[in-house]
Amino acid sequence: MAPTLAAAGSDPRIRACQIVRTRIDWSTMVRDQGVTVPAAGPNDSLGRLLALTAKASREWFEARLAEVGGSLPTWIVLSQAIDSPLSLSQRELAARMGIGGATLVRHLDRLEADGLVTRRRDPDDRRVTRIDLTDRGRDLHHDLSLVAAEVDREVKALISDEEERVFRSVLHRLDQHALTAPRSTQPHRLDAAPTRDPAPHESHDEETDVA
């Protein structure tokens, strides 16, 4: 039987974990937001456990950002744009985010329509489009930053400093493996038609794949 909040009072990490679980309240999220995240079991493979945990964590973070009128894509675009001392070009912003130009344009169209960013031609090179945050965009970024900091504190409350150090190291190795591992383990067929890399305008990035 899981310990009650009262019984967990002597262990702040257990209490924090239970508070986070209460705040997540998956049944409410499923009903109100259409979130469907299958539960991860203790005997799941590491790959499946990692995928389910990543999905659940993203849904949780998205829900928290939505409380102040934001989303994960909005948070990432605004953060990348505001962190630069100079106005970034669309190409530079897309490179920072690791997404295709067409995907970024869709995000910028939405953010501009919401009054969060503006786009202007570079006076020294009319071919370049510069991105600037509006006052409204800076205000929203401030609110989203507070949410992100709160979520970070909640996550860190679940683990010790040493566990965080090991966790970061493991995540880094997993990330590097995912970036460099072959996408297919099938043997190469000599008679198979050669594949080509998509042109920049053929990017297949999903609209929310900005993390």
- What is the average pLDDT across 141-165? 96
More confident residue, 203 or 181: 181
Is the predicted pLDDT of residue 8 greater than 70, yes or no? no
* Per-residue pLDDT reduced to its tens digit, 187-199: 655 555 555 444 4
Could you say which DSSP state residue 70 is in? -
Rounded to whole angstroms, how far apart are CA atoms 141 and 192?
A: 48
Spatial contact of 156 and 164, defined as CB atoms under 8 Å apart:
yes
CATH classification number, 10-35+54-172, choose in 1.10.10.10, 2.20.28.90, 3.40.50.720, 1.10.10.350? 1.10.10.10
Per-residue model confidence as pLDDT tens digits over 81-113: 998 778 899 999 999 988 898 999 999 999 999
Domain definitions of the chain by residue range: 10-35+54-172
Percent of the chain with pLDDT over 90: 52
Model confidence at 166, in pLDDT bands (50, 70, 90)? very high
pLDDT > 70? residue 48: yes
pTM of whole model > 0.75?
no
DSSP string spanning 2-25? PPPTTGGGG-HHHHHHHHHHHHH-
User: Per-residue pLDDT for 202 more than 70?
Assistant: no
Write down the mean pLDDT value for the chain: 78
Sheet holding 88-89, edge to edge: 88-89, 125-133, 117-122
Adjacent-strand bridge partners of 125: 122
The set of residues, in sequence order, having a beta carbon less than 8 Å from that of 30 and lying 6+ positions away, is: 36
Range of lowest pLDDT (21-30, 52-61, 90-99, 173-182): 21-30
- Residue 84: per-residue pLDDT: 79
